Structure formats: C-alpha cells, structure tokens
C-alpha cells in the first residue's frame, strides 16, 4: 500500500528514504561481517551516538572537521576491537559482550556532555551528510564505495574465504591453520567502523551531536537487514550485496509505515517478526541442506557396495587436506 501512496512516491519522501536507508545499510554491512563469523553486534546503535558525539566535541574544541572524522572512526575501531577481543579471548557469548558494550557506549556520550546536545559550527562537516557530487548524495557515494570494497574483500581475497570458513566451522578452520582470532576481531572492527560512518552521517545531516542518537532500533534494523538479505544468524552463509538489498527493503518498510501513519510503536514488532521469520527459514534451510547431504552420502555408500573397505583407506588424503 505504501508503494501506491502518492506521498510515498514524492521526491521529498524518496530523498528521506534514501538518506535513512544509508545509515541502516552501513550498519548492515558491518553487521554482516560479524554474523558471518557466527557472532552478533548489538552495540552498533549506541556506537552511532558515541562516535558522533566525539566528533562534535572534537570540533567544539576548535579542531578541523577532518580530525573529528578521524577521531570518530578511531572510536569505532576501539569499540569493535574491544568486542572482538573479549568475544574471542575471554570466550563470552557475543550477545552478552555486545549488549554490555551497548550500555557502556550509550552512557559515555551522556556522561561527557551531561546529556546535552552539542552544536556543530564547521560548515565543511555538512558535506558528509548533506553534500552531493553530480547530483548523487555524498552518503550514497560513501555507501557504494564501502559496498564495493567489502564485496571484493569477501569474495576475492583469502580473508573472505577464512571469514566464511570460521562461521561455518571454527574447529575445522583452526585445524586448517586459519587465524581465528584475527578473523573474529577484524569482523567486529569492521562493524565498529561502519557504525562510526553511520554516526558521522547522522550528525552531519543534523549538524548537532545528540547523546541519544542511535538509541532506537538501529541494531535490530541492521540485523533484520542482513537476515532479509540472506545472511545466516548461525554464521558462514550470506553475501554483503544481499545485506545491502535487505537494508533498502527494511528502510522502505519503515518509511512506508511512517507515510501510512502507522504508530511508531508498531515498527519494532514488524522488525521483530521479520527477524524471527528469517531465523526460522534459515533453520529450515540448514536442516534441509543437512538432510540432503546425508542422503547423498548414504547413496554413495550404497552404490559402492563391496568396495566399502576401501573407504577406510581414504583417511590419509583427508588428514593431508586437514594439514
């Protein structure tokens, strides 16, 4: 119905949809890296507030906008590094670690500013969120660049292969010599950097740093976007392009509900249902795949007949491949 609505198809609303979708898409891209390892990052929403406020405070101290942007990105890296190190080396569940980080990073901006907003006076900073090049909004350009880089990393580099392998089976990956610590920690760092870009874009659009920015449903939107795009919550399956498309779809659903006058308190319910359906469908797909694989193995064993003992001699090649 929202697609039929005249107000939904208006140029002004499409611009809002595109702008809102950019932030969600950035979060979804970073979330995809974490989900592919079998983890989850619930701190991305509050990371928007932390990185945005640190950038605003940096400019309030008289430093140029580009220094503020670097500070925000470094803060995002620090948050991701903390999450990854604790998840891997301490061995705590990613849900618990990132939920705790969510609380920490949500409080720091309020502590630093006494829960007050900080105005941004540098007009150059507005280019990040409001600028355009050849009619294309700067945030969209940044998003497309990030998408292309991540697609190359995941599908054209050994690191991408390792990321999928770790999410598929950590023990097998370890036996294959993959550095699980590096893969896991770097995935959370990527998520932190993407959240930092989300914080910079959000603050640049408003030219005000809000300590409560990103405290809504951003983390759930990022998860839902990835799930809708085919990324498995169990790890090892999905594509970055799918997550990007999922983010656009989620932004469309959210914006369409606003245009149709659906109360905002219904939106978390819809997103929750989307995540639940995604998990159920993914679980069904994995079960079906496992059953199909089992049937293929049974058929191969049945077709082999008498030469079955020769199967035992197949173990040396298997061990060699493990090495």
Rounded average pLDDT over 94-101: 94
Q: pLDDT band at 105, cuts 50/70/90? A: very high
- The DSSP H or E segment spanning 191 is helix 180-206
What are the sequence ranges of the domains in the chain?
11-295
Give the pTM: 0.81
Residue 108: both structure tokens together: 């720091």
Residue 163, judged by CB atoms within 10 A of its CB (0-12, 13-18, 19+), counts as: buried
Question: What is the per-residue pLDDT across 215-238, written as a single tens digit (0 to 9) for each?
Answer: 767 888 888 889 888 888 888 888
Question: What is the per-residue pLDDT across 271-321, written as a single tens digit (0 to 9) for each?
Answer: 788 778 877 877 777 677 666 666 666 766 665 545 444 444 333 334 434
Question: What is the per-residue pLDDT across 169-211, written as a single tens digit (0 to 9) for each?
Answer: 888 999 999 999 999 999 999 999 999 999 999 888 888 888 8
Residue 110 neighbours by CB under 8 Å, 6+ apart: 211, 212
User: Would you state the pLDDT for residue 301?
Assistant: 64
Q: Does residue 5 or residue 249 have the better pLDDT?
A: 249
Residue 202, judged by CB atoms within 10 A of its CB (0-12, 13-18, 19+), counts as: buried
- Please give the CATH architecture assigned to the domain spanning 11-295: Orthogonal Bundle (1.10)
CA dihedral in degrees (221, 84, 152, 227; nearest 10)?
A: -30
Neighbours of 84 (CB within 10 A): 28
Residue 298 neighbours by CB under 8 Å, 6+ apart: none
């Amino acid at each position: 119905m929202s697609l039929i609505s005249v107000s939904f198809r208006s140029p002004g609303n499409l611009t809002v949809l595109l702008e809102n979708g950019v932030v969600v898409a950035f979060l979804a891209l970073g979330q995809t890296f974490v989900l592919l390892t079998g983890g989850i990052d619930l701190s991305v929403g509050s990371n928007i507030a932390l990185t945005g406020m640190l950038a605003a405070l940096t400019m309030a101290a008289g430093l140029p906008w580009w220094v503020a942007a670097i500070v925000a990105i470094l803060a995002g890296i620090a948050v991701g590094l903390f999450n990854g190190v604790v998840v891997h080396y301490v061995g705590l569940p990613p849900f618990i670690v990132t939920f705790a980080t969510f609380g920490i990073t949500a409080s720091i901006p309020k502590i630093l500013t006494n829960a007050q907003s900080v105005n941004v006076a540098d007009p150059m900073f507005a280019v990040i969120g409001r600028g355009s090049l050849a009619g294309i909004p700067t945030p969209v350009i940044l998003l497309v660049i990030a998408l292309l880089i991540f697609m190359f990393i995941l599908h054209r580099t050994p690191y991408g292969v390792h990321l999928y392998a770790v999410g598929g089976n950590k023990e097998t990956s370890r036996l294959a010599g993959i550095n699980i610590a590096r893969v896991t920690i770097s995935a959370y760092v990527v998520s932190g950097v993407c959240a930092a870009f989300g914080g910079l874009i959000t603050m640049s659009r408003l030219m005000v740093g809000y300590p409560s920015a990103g405290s809504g449903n951003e983390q759930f939107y990022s998860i839902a976007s990835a799930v809708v795009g085919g990324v498995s919550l169990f790890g090892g399956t999905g594509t970055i392009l799918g997550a990007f498309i999922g983010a656009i779809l989620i932004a469309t659903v959210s914006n369409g509900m606003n245009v149709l006058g659906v109360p905002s308190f219904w939106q978390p319910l819809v997103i929750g249902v989307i995540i639940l359906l995604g998990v159920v469908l993914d679980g069904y797909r994995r079960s079906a795949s496992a059953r199909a694989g089992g049937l293929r193995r049974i058929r191969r064993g049945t077709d082999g007949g008498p030469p079955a003992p020769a199967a035992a001699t197949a173990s040396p090649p298997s061990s060699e491949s493990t090495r």
